[in-house]
Amino acid sequence: MARKDKKTLPASGAGIVRYFDDETSGIKLSPNQVVIGAIIIALICIALRFTTYVGY
């Protein structure tokens, strides 16, 4: 009998999932920058909520 030396790859290695292989242009943000940005936007919204007078 012939020996099988051929190894099979999982589905992700066969090219089905390749979205990390392509380099895309655009802004690159780390997770820390996203969290800090969200906190800053939330603080601005809270500050505007308590500093503006609506009148009702």
**Could you read off the pLDDT of 13-35 as tens digits, one per residue?**
555 555 555 666 888 899 999 99
Give the pLDDT score at 13.
52
Which pLDDT score is estimated for 36?
A: 98
pTM, rounded to two decimals: 0.51
* Percentage of the residues of the chain whose pLDDT score is greater than 70: 54
CA distance 43 to 35: 12
The residue that leads in pLDDT, 43 or 26, is 43
Q: 21: burial class by Cβ within 10 Å (0-12, 13-18, 19+)?
A: exposed
Domain ranges of the chain: 29-56
